[in-house]
Amino acid sequence: MPSSAILLISCPDRKGVVASIADFIFNHNGNILFADEHGDGATNLFLTRVEFDPKDFDFNLTQFAERFAPIAGEFQMDWRLAHSGDRPRIAIFVSKYDHCLQDLLYRHHNGELHCEIPLIISNHPDNQRIADFYRVPYFVVPLSRDNKREAEQKQIELVREHQCNLVVLARYMQVLSNEFIEAFGSEHLINIHHSFLPAFVGSKPYHQAFQRGVKLIGATAHYVTQVLDDGPIIEQDVVRIHHRDTIDALIQKGRDLEKVVLSRAVRWHIENRVLLYGNKTVVFQ
Q: What are the pLDDT tens digits along the chain (285 aa)? A: 468 999 999 999 999 999 999 999 999 999 999 999 999 999 999 999 999 999 999 999 999 999 999 999 999 999 999 999 999 999 999 999 999 999 999 999 999 999 999 999 999 999 999 999 999 999 999 999 899 999 999 999 999 999 999 999 999 999 999 999 999 999 999 999 999 999 888 888 999 999 999 999 999 999 999 998 899 999 999 999 999 999 999 999 999 999 999 999 999 999 999 999 989 999 998
Q: How far apart are CA 181 and CA 176, in angstroms?
A: 7
DSSP alpha helices (H): ranges in 110-199?
128-133, 148-161, 178-184
Which helix or strand (DSSP H or E) is residue 68 part of?
helix 64-74
Q: Which listed CATH number (3.60.110.10, 3.40.50.170, 3.40.50.670, 3.40.30.10) goes with 89-283?
A: 3.40.50.170
Non-local CB neighbours of 173 within 8 Å, separated by 6+ positions: 95, 96, 97
> Quick one: pLDDT at residue 285?
87
pLDDT of residue 2: 60
Active site residue 13: no
- Phi then psi for residue 10, to 5 deg, are -130, 140
Predicted pLDDT of residue 223? 97
CB 28 within 8 A of CB 63: no
Q: Can you give the pLDDT at residue 202?
A: 83
C-alpha–C-alpha distance, residues 247 and 216, integer Å: 13
Q: Where in the chain is CATH 3.40.50.170?
A: 89-283
* Angle, alpha carbons 182-275-57 (nearest 5°): 115
Homologous superfamily of the 5-83 domain (CATH): ACT domain (3.30.70.260)
CA-to-CA dists, residue 137 to 129, 158, 169, angstroms:
11, 11, 16
Tell me, what's the pLDDT at 253?
A: 93
Active-site option among 229, 230, 237, 245: 229
Outline which parts of the chain fall under CATH 3.30.70.260. 5-83
**Judging by DSSP bridges, how do beta strands 166-169 and 189-193 pair with one another?**
parallel
Question: What pLDDT, in 10s, does the model give residues 40-90?
Answer: 999 999 999 999 999 999 999 999 999 999 999 999 999 999 999 999 999
Q: What confidence tens digit (pLDDT) does each residue in 104-113 have?
A: 999 999 999 9
Tens-digit pLDDT profile for residues 257-277: 999 999 999 999 999 999 999
CB distance 231 to 186 below 8 Å: yes
